[in-house]
Amino acid sequence: MTNTLIQFQWTVAPDGYRIIKTKKPDAIVGSAEQLFLTDAIPYGGSRLLGTYSPNAGLFHSFADLKPNPAQILEFAGEWGMLTRGVGIRVGNSIAMGERLDTWIAEIKQLSIALRLWELTRDGNITDLGQYIIWSADNSGVRFGVPNHVGGRWIATRTSNADLLQTFREGDRIRPAWHQLQHMINEKLDGRVSARLLWDSSHTRLSLHQVPSDLISALWLQLARAIEGNRVYQQCEECKNWFEVSSPDGGRKDKRFCSTACRARDWRKKKGGK
């Protein structure tokens, strides 16, 4: 039985989003304003949002973003907010928004997780050394990010000692898999539910994993990519990432994510002759 994401849908504001400096309605008097991304549609007003189902490689596109306002606004304009948002002040009205800092943090965290998976999958022990660090006496192994303070001990002789015993001293591959497991489970905890849903023809019930919002859908996509050892590449036309190889089949030599993109590329080449 296969769990899928095909029933998950998300919304996007047709008139786009903007970043404003404001506060939540219940903010303490005198507190500083913060940067929020919002569609600025007053709460309770007409919200004619577009609905779509994320493509399987959207997590890759998100992880590739530079965490700056321009790229965040471009992504939001096409795919919507990451969460259902919170109430914020927009002029004399209340609209839904989410902190820009939330976007920046999620982009960095997903990009790190994606990089860690790619290095682990490829067995790149040298570059994994930037993230998986053993203590000098091999009494513990921790996860860290270059140029970042802090980290997380994966296992030590006093914490997760049983797990430490399963690692070969100096090994980086198995600790990296355990770190990935921790990162993704932490992101999915309480944000993905199992539902028995009808298929598109409404003739058969099947079990689905249903994320609560877009960001949990992106982390779930990464989890499924790891589970199935799926391979992705960028479409030569639209530059979106798409799945080219998985246990479900698929051609590894595909250059375009859809027939529409292949046709657009063909028309461009024909017009250039």
Query: Rounded mean pLDDT of the chain?
Result: 89
User: Helix (H, G, I), strand (E, B), or coil: what is residue 226?
Assistant: helix
Same domain? 33 vs 61: yes
Residue type, 243: E
CB of 100 within 8 A of CB of 36?
yes
CB of 42 within 8 A of CB of 207?
no
2 within some domain:
no
Q: For residue 272, what pLDDT is reported?
A: 59
Same domain? 225 vs 235: no
pLDDT tens string 121-168 = 999 999 999 999 999 999 999 999 987 767 899 999 999 999 999 999
CA distance 245 to 56: 12
Average pLDDT over residues 236-245: 83
Residue type, 241: W
Q: For residue 247, what pLDDT is reported?
A: 54
Same domain? 116 vs 235: no
pLDDT tens string 60-85 = 999 999 999 999 999 999 999 999 99
Q: For residue 234, what pLDDT is reported?
A: 87
Same domain? 168 vs 208: yes
3 within some domain:
no
User: Which parts of 33-131 are beta strand (E)?
Assistant: 34-42, 50-52, 86-90, 93-99
Average pLDDT over residues 82-111: 96
Check pLDDT > 50 for residue 1: no
Q: For residue 150, what pLDDT is reported?
A: 74
Confidence band for 2, pLDDT divided at 50, 70 and 90: very low
Q: For residue 46, what pLDDT is reported?
A: 61
Same domain? 44 vs 143: yes
Residue type, 266: W
Same domain? 162 vs 177: yes
Check pLDDT > 60 for residue 4: no
Same domain? 180 vs 242: no
Check pLDDT > 60 for residue 269: yes
Average pLDDT over residues 212-234: 94
Phi and psi of 189, rounded to 5°?
Answer: -60, 120
What domain range is 48 assigned to? 10-229
C-alpha radius of gyration, the chain, whole number: 22
Same domain? 202 vs 119: yes
Question: Structurally, how many domains does the chain consist of?
Answer: 2
